[in-house]
Amino acid sequence: MNLGTLKYATGSKHKPKRVGRGPGSGHGGTACRGHKGQHSRSGDKRRVWFEGGQTPIQRRLPKRGFNSLSRREFQIVNLDALNRLEGVTKITPELLYEKKLIRKRNLPVKILGDGQLSKALEVSAHAFSKSAAEKIESIGGKTILL
């Protein structure tokens, strides 16, 4: 036995329907398209959102909201999460990603001031809240903007 002699199991392959090939085929006449109507005609193409002439849903629903093109979405980390890190003095977004405090490497990080710090840390991030920066620097730490 080799690859050239492999065959499909009997009954596993079906011949395709040959539609519109006369009455003897069993698929003559309307060629399995039913009677009349838009879908029986040649050139029948319907867009995915087409609803048969009914006002489509994207026109029935009102416009709502606004998406700002200049919005920067930050991943936030609070001071109490930084305080829980053991044996670390320099905190970077890469370290936060390794410790699973942030989920994505490519989004900017913002440090917020919820919680207290008990040790001086050198924190590098893309943004700091005022309270976070004050708390870090009051203990003798450093804030570095990336």
- Encode pLDDT of 99-118 as tens digits: 999 999 999 999 999 988 88
Q: What average pLDDT does this structure show over 44-53? A: 86
CATH classification code of 75-145: 3.100.10.10
Is the model's pLDDT at 59 over the cut of 90?
Answer: yes
| pTM for this prediction | 0.57
Is the model's pLDDT at 132 over the cut of 90?
Answer: yes
Residue 118: alpha-carbon gap to chain centroid: 38
Cα four-point dihedral sign 51, 53, 58, 61: negative
How would you class 11 by CB atoms within 10 Å of its CB: exposed for 0-12, middle for 13-18, buried for 19 or more? exposed
CA dist., res. 110 & res. 128, Å (int)? 5
Is the model's pLDDT at 1 over the cut of 90?
Answer: no
- Encode pLDDT of 7-31 as tens digits: 999 999 998 989 999 999 889 999 9
In 18-91, which residue ranges form alpha helices assigned H by DSSP?
57-60, 79-83
Mean pLDDT score of the chain, rounded to an integer?
91
Residue ranges per domain, the chain? 19-65, 75-145
